[in-house]
């Protein structure tokens, strides 16, 4: 069986074709059309899947199909919390099954990331794995024994939207002072601008802190402190065998040294041994993970 994976992103939709052994055979991407509505997204996705199968001269019955989405498949099969908002409230998975006449696996993109890193990336060989996507936002996914665990409401791993700051800003999730507002790139940048009046990107704040700018040093220190506190929340709750970090901020090397020191400060153990791993698949994790959750 070939494996088709589709990563439906906010700006681009990528697809991949893997051999039965998991070797990449073909990959392509199309722009995700904005403001064209649900039917157009369904049409684009089905066409992309058919084209991908055609690259191997395969019929769909020779393939498994999996899709990662920037949202959650709710317990009733309807899409929730998607930033491609036309999907919300629609039975996207069932519609694709109908159009393709083929089963379709569908998971949240953070779950796909976690699956990919468990299966062929940094978290290979670990049983209970928490995946973190730390970028503009802050998402998470949970895999146990190489399988995604969605939870009763489909929100397992959504620790980025736990309220940790009652005095914080209202999040799009409808929750005040989310973890996301404390440790995501956009959270750091908006806090910096609010307090200093200067718009700076997080990498610039890091660079200036490195050059001994006192204000930037203070903000970077605050970020690591919050990172430690929020990750300790995960460790104390599920005590995973490994944590793997993806997203734009995963490139910050200090996360794996200073960041881990701060986790140690807040975790309820004096001897923190949890491996905090940098992802190995980079931007490709989403599309590989989609292939691995295919049906
Ligand atoms: Zn939130």
Between the CA of 59 and the centroid of ligand 1 the distance, in Å, is 42
Place of tokens 């722009």: 31
The predicted model gives 166-175 an average pLDDT of 91
Instruction: Please give the distance of CA 120 from its chain centroid, rounded to a whole number.
Output: 16
Between the CA of 8 and the centroid of ligand 1 the distance, in Å, is 21
Check residue 81 and give its pLDDT: 85
- Domain-wise residue ranges, the chain: 2-112+284-292, 125-279
Asked whether the beta carbons of 276 and 243 are under 8 A apart, the reply is yes
Check residue 259 and give its pLDDT: 98
Length of the chain: 295
Check residue 264 and give its pLDDT: 98
Between the CA of 56 and the centroid of ligand 1 the distance, in Å, is 42
Between the CA of 235 and the centroid of ligand 1 the distance, in Å, is 20
pTM for this entry: 0.92
Place of tokens 């904005």: 34
Between the CA of 175 and the centroid of ligand 1 the distance, in Å, is 5
Burial code (b: 16+ CB inside 10 Å, e: under 16) for 28-46 equals eeeebeeeeebeebbebbb
Between the CA of 160 and the centroid of ligand 1 the distance, in Å, is 6
Check residue 275 and give its pLDDT: 98
pLDDT tens digits, one per residue of 205-237 = 999 999 999 999 999 999 999 999 999 999 999
Place of tokens 């769909």: 60
Between the CA of 140 and the centroid of ligand 1 the distance, in Å, is 12
Query: Which of 239, 200, 245 is CA-nearest to residue 227?
Result: 245
Between the CA of 19 and the centroid of ligand 1 the distance, in Å, is 38
Between the CA of 118 and the centroid of ligand 1 the distance, in Å, is 26
Between the CA of 280 and the centroid of ligand 1 the distance, in Å, is 27
Compute CA distances 78 → 54, 91, 107, 109, whole Å. 29, 5, 12, 16
Check residue 9 and give its pLDDT: 87
Q: How confident is the model at residue 136 (pLDDT cuts 50, 70, 90)?
A: confident
The Cα–Cα gap between 58 and 6 comes to: 17
Average pLDDT, the chain: 95
CA neighbours within 13 Å on the CB side: how many for 65?
Answer: 24
Count Cβ atoms below 10 Å from residue 196 Cβ, excluding itself. 13
Between the CA of 226 and the centroid of ligand 1 the distance, in Å, is 16
- Which CATH code fits 125-279? 3.30.420.40
Between the CA of 169 and the centroid of ligand 1 the distance, in Å, is 9
Between the CA of 21 and the centroid of ligand 1 the distance, in Å, is 38
Between the CA of 166 and the centroid of ligand 1 the distance, in Å, is 12
Between the CA of 243 and the centroid of ligand 1 the distance, in Å, is 21
Check residue 180 and give its pLDDT: 94
Q: Determine how β-strand 12-18 pairs with β-strand 72-73.
A: unpaired
Check residue 11 and give its pLDDT: 83
The predicted model gives 31-58 an average pLDDT of 92
- Which CATH code fits 2-112+284-292? 3.30.420.40
Check residue 246 and give its pLDDT: 96
pLDDT tens digits, one per residue of 3-24 = 999 999 888 899 999 999 889 9
Asked which of 136-140, 193-197, 211-215, 266-270 is least confident by mean pLDDT, the reply is 136-140
pLDDT tens digits, one per residue of 66-78 = 999 989 999 999 9
Between the CA of 92 and the centroid of ligand 1 the distance, in Å, is 24
Between the CA of 27 and the centroid of ligand 1 the distance, in Å, is 33
Fold match, 2-112+284-292 / 125-279: yes
Between the CA of 272 and the centroid of ligand 1 the distance, in Å, is 28
């Amino acid at each position: 069986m070939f494996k088709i994976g589709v990563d439906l992103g906010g700006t681009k939709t990528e697809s991949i074709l893997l051999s039965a052994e998991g070797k990449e055979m073909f990959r392509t991407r199309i722009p995700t059309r904005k403001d064209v509505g649900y039917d157009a997204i369904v049409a684009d996705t089905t066409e992309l899947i058919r084209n991908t199968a055609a690259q191997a001269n395969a019929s769909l019955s020779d393939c498994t199909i999996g899709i990662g989405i920037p949202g959650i498949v709710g317990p009733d099969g309807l899409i929730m919390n998607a930033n491609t908002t036309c999907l919300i409230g629609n039975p996207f998975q069932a519609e694709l099954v109908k159009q393709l006449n083929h089963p379709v696996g569908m998971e949240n993109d953070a779950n796909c990331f976690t699956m990919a890193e468990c299966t062929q990336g940094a978290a290979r060989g670990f049983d209970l794995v928490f995946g973190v996507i730390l970028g503009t936002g802050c998402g998470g996914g949970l895999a146990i024994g190489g399988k995604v665990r969605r939870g009763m409401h489909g929100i397992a791993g959504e620790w980025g939207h736990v309220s940790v700051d009652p005095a914080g800003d209202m999040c799009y999730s409808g929750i005040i002072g989310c973890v996301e507002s404390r440790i995501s790139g956009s959270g750091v940048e908006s806090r910096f601008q609010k307090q200093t009046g200067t718009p700076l990107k997080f990498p610039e704040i890091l660079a200036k802190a490195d050059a001994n700018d006192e204000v930037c040093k203070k903000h970077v220190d605050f970020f690591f402190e919050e990172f430690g506190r929020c990750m300790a929340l995960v460790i104390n709750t599920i005590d995973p065998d490994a944590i793997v970090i993806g997203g734009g901020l995963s490139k910050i090397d200090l996360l794996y040294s200073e960041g881990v020191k701060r986790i140690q400060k807040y975790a309820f153990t004096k001897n923190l041994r949890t491996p905090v791993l940098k992802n190995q698949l980079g931007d490709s994790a989403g599309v590989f993970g989609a292939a691995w959750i295919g049906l």
